Chains A and B, each alone.
Chain A
Amino acid sequence: MRRLQSTLFLIALALGALGVVCPHETEAADEKAPIKIGAYASLTGSEATWGQSYERGTRLAIDELNAAGGVLGRPLKLLIEDNRSRPGESATSVRKLISRDKVVAVLGEVSSGRSLEAATVCQQMRVPMISNGSNPKVTEVGDYIFRVAYIDPFQGTVMAQFAREHLKIDRVALLTDNANAYAVGLGKFFKERFLADGGVVAIEKHYNSNERDFKAQLTAIKASGVEGLFVPGYYTEVGLIVQQARQLGFDAPIFGGDGWASPQLLAQAGESLRDTYYCDNFSMETDSPLVQRFIVKYRERFHEDPDSIAPLAYDAVAMLADAIGRAGSTGAAKIRTALAETQAFVGVSGNLSLDAQRNPQKRAFVVGFKEGRYRLEKTVKP
Chain B
Amino acid sequence: MSEFLQQLLNGLSLGAIYALIALGYTMVYGVLRFINFAHCDVFMVGAFIGYYLGQHLPHGTIWGGTLVLLCAMIGCALLGMLIERLAYRPLRGAPTLNVLITAIGVSLFLQYTGQLVFGATPRTFPPLFPSVNFNVGTLVFSSNQLLVIGVAVTLMVALRLIVFRTRIGTAMRAVSLNPNAARLVGVNNDVVISFTFGLGSALAAAGGILYALNYPSIDPLMGVMPGLKAFVAAILGGIGNIPGAALGGLLLGTVETFVSGSRFSTYKDAIAFAILIVILLFRPAGLLGKPTVEKV
Contacts and interface: CB of A to CB of B under 8 A. Distances in A.
Interface of A: 44-46, 48-49, 84-85, 178, 205-208, 210-213, 215-217, 219-220, 223, 236, 239-240, 243, 247-249, 264, 267-268
Given A205-B265, A216-B260, A268-B217, A46 B142 contact: no
B284 interface: no
Contacts of B140: 247-249
Contacts of A46: 120-122, 219
A355 B95 CA distance: 65
A45 B258 contact: no
A235 to B, nearest CB: 10
19 contacts: A45-B120, A46-B120, A46-B121, A49-B121, A208-B269, A210-B221, A213-B214, A215-B14, A216-B258, A216-B261, A219-B6, A219-B7, A219-B10, A220-B261, A223-B3, A247-B140, A249-B135, A267-B124, A268-B124
Nearest to A249: B140
B contact patch SS: helix
Nearest to A219: B6
A342 B261 CA distance: 48
Contact of A85 (B6, B120, B211, B257): B120
A213 B14 contact: yes
Pairs of residues from A and B, 10 with the lowest C-beta to C-beta distance, nearest first: A216-B260, A212-B215, A223-B3, A48-B121, A216-B261, A215-B10, A220-B261, A216-B257, A44-B120, A45-B120
A213 B10 CA distance: 9
B216 interface: yes
Given A49-B121, A206-B266, A223-B6, 17 more contacts: A45-B120, A46-B120, A48-B121, A178-B266, A207-B265, A208-B269, A213-B10, A216-B11, A216-B265, A217-B265, A240-B215, A243-B216, A247-B133, A247-B140, A248-B6, A249-B140, A264-B122
Contact of A247 (B2, B7, B122, B142): B142
B119 interface: yes
Contacts of A220: 3, 7, 261-262
A360 B13 CA distance: 48
Interface in B248-296: 256-262, 265-266, 269
A274 to B, nearest CB: 15
Contact of A45 (B121, B256, B257): B121
A155 to B, nearest CB: 24
B225 interface: yes
Contacts of A84: 120
Nearest to B133: A247
A364 B140 CA distance: 37
A268 B221 CA distance: 18
Interface of B: 2-3, 6-7, 10-11, 14, 115, 119-122, 124, 133, 135, 140, 142, 211, 214-217, 219, 221-222, 225, 256-262, 265-266, 269
A220 B256 CA distance: 14
A249 B261 CA distance: 17
Given A220-B3, A220-B261, A213 B215 contact: yes
B2 A216 contact: no
Contacts of A217: 260-261, 265
Contacts of B7: 216, 219-220
Nearest to A85: B120
A207 B266 CA distance: 7
Contacts of B257: 215-216
Nearest to A82: B120
Contacts of B10: 213, 215-216, 219
A267 B121 CA distance: 13
A223 B2 contact: yes
Contacts of B121: 44-46, 48-49
Contacts of A236: 122, 217
Contacts of B269: 208
B221 to A, nearest CB: 8
Contacts of B119: 44, 48
Contacts of A267: 124
Contacts of A44: 115, 119-121
B138 to A, nearest CB: 8
A210 B220 CA distance: 12
A42 to B, nearest CB: 10
A213 B268 CA distance: 12
A120 B140 CA distance: 48
A48 B119 CA distance: 10
A220 to B, nearest CB: 4
